[in-house]
Amino acid sequence: MSFSCLIVAAGQGLRAGPGAPKAWRDLAGRPILRWSVEALLAAGADEIVLVAAPDRLGDVEGALSGLTRWRATAGGATRSQSVRAGLAALDGEATRPVLVHDAARPFVSGAHVAALLAALEAGADAAAPALPVSDTLKRVTGARVETAPREGLWRAQTPQAFRLGRLRAAYAALGEDEATDDLALVERAGGRVTLTPGDPMLMKLTYPEDFAMAERLAGAARITRTGFGVDAHRWGPGDGVWLCGVRIAHDRALIGHSDADAGLHALTDAILGAIGEGDIGQHFPPSDPQWRGAASAAFLAHAAALVAAKGGRIVNVDVTLICERPKVGPHRAAMRARLAEILALPQGRVSVKATTTEGMGFTGREEGLMAQAVAAVEMAG
């Protein structure tokens, strides 16, 4: 089912303690708001409107770099004002499904979305995931403490699903009043509301301790994927060679369509392999004249950008150069620094090694040079 999303990220998050507003803080290396955008795009959202505070609109592009099908609009001083702004920015017919989601709930999944859309398809005017209240409730009035009944009480979560026209009408009926829950507006208008199965993972990050819990959950929800790459080039006439982004003076050059940097080619393939995106030849065909003599750093940067677009993070890389000459040791530090620069990694996560084959094989006979590389990428399972 085709649907749109409205993500509210305009709040200041004062209860979260010092620091940036919570939607803009990092969670496992990514802005919290990016988690929801990535998940909702993966669930099939056709368009996402992100509602941000006016002074944060300039930060959205960087936070969502590499992602598509989204746009941002300025929110208001309250949640209701921000939802109104988002609804005004959405396109579509009155019957179009729209999901309203709090950016501070980063662990939304495709299963949550599917249940909500199914509820709308079954005739609900609004739907939200909810969990039954399991803790004993206490009401405190001054010095008096009372136990409150919890039977029939549920904790509503987001995203919440509506037909666009129904939600717009509910906000029009609200007038200048405020609401902290969109579902309540449709209830007030007499709409049919359905609760779908809630999920403890849909926790809302509110207090400082929530962020420590979210970091643990984020780690449990992600896996490390490993890719392996190999490349080899023949020696030919020349006066220098490119290896791992560094030019080394030499009495020969490696022959290839681009700059023949076997180290960067092997590492690019390793990263592409880790994320299931084929090999370097698919992305940069040797038959394409635009890549003749091209700097291979562009190939590696492209692979790194694909990792970011999938919500992944390169953990570490390791390159081994196999040749009799030139000697790699004097250039190892420069190579590590260049790879770290291209991949935006600390140098401690970048390794460059070299070995010979003791005169055996094509590298031993100095007919060519070979490179092997391994890359570890962390991403959602």
Boundaries of every domain in the chain: 4-220, 222-380
pLDDT at 16 over 60: no
Q: Output the pLDDT for position 119.
A: 97
Confidence of residue 266 (pLDDT cuts 50, 70, 90): very high
Instruction: Measure the CA–CA gap between 12 and 6, rounded to whole angstroms.
Output: 18
DSSP letter string, 232-290: EEEEES-SEEEETTEEEE-SSEE--SS---HHHHHHHHHHHHHTT---HHHHS-TT-GG
The residue among 322 and 39 whose pLDDT is bigger is 322
Given a contact cutoff of 8 angstroms between Cβ atoms, the answer to whether 6 and 96 are in contact is: no
Instruction: Let me know: does 242 contact 143? Beta carbons within 8 Å.
Output: no
Per-residue burial over 81-90, b = 16 or more CB atoms within 10 Å of its CB, e = otherwise? ebbbbbbebb
Q: Return mean pLDDT, the chain.
A: 91
Report domain 4-220's class. Answer: alpha beta
Looking at residue 21, its pLDDT comes to 79
Mean pLDDT of 224-248: 96
Given pLDDT bands bounded at 50, 70 and 90, which one contains residue 53?
very high
Q: Identify which has the larger pLDDT, 10 or 240.
A: 240
When pLDDT is cut at 50, 70 and 90, the band that residue 179 belongs to is confident
| pLDDT band of 221, cuts 50, 70, 90 | low
The whole-number pLDDT of residue 253 equals 95
Residue 97 to residue 118: CA distance in whole angstroms: 11
The pTM score is: 0.64
Q: Which of 154-158, 215-219, 291-295 tops mean pLDDT?
A: 154-158
Question: What integer pLDDT is reported at residue 14 of this predicted model?
Answer: 53
Residue reference for tokens 């299931």? 276
| Radius of gyration for the chain, computed over Cα atoms and rounded to the nearest angstrom | 27
Winning range, highest mean pLDDT, from 122-131, 207-216, 301-310 = 122-131
8 Å CB contact between 37 and 70: yes
The pLDDT confidence band at residue 15, using thresholds 50, 70 and 90, is: low
In the predicted structure, residue 379 carries a pLDDT above the cut 60: yes
Of 13-17, 66-70, 211-215, give the lowest mean pLDDT range: 13-17
For strand 154-156 and strand 144-148, is the pairing parallel, antiparallel, or unpaired? unpaired
The domain at 222-380 falls in which architecture? 2-Layer Sandwich (3.30)
Joined tokens for residue 127:
């739907």
The predicted structure's pLDDT at residue 324 = 96
Query: Taking residues 272-286, what's their average pLDDT?
Result: 93
Q: How confident is the model at residue 378 (pLDDT cuts 50, 70, 90)?
A: confident
Instruction: Tell me if residue 52 falls in helix, strand or coil.
Output: strand
Residue 246: predicted pLDDT: 97
* CA-closest candidate to residue 112, choices 195, 212, 196, 218: 196
Residues 275, 310 contacting (CB under 8 angstroms) = yes
Phi-psi map region of 142: left, alpha, beta (phi>0 left; psi -120 to 50 alpha): left
Residue 22 — very low, low, confident or very high, per pLDDT cuts 50/70/90? confident
- Residue 154 sits at φ, ψ, to 5 deg, of -130, 150
CA distance 221 to 41: 18
| CA–CA separation, 379 and 31 (whole Å) | 14
Q: pLDDT tens digits, residue range 285-344?
A: 888 888 888 999 999 999 998 888 777 889 999 999 999 999 999 999 999 999 999 998
23 or 97, which is more confident = 97
Whole-number pLDDT of residue 279? 95
pLDDT at residue 84 greater than cutoff 80: yes
Q: Of 171-180, 213-222, 294-303, where does mean pLDDT reach its minimum?
A: 213-222
Q: Are strands 160-163 and 126-132 parallel, antiparallel or unpaired?
A: antiparallel
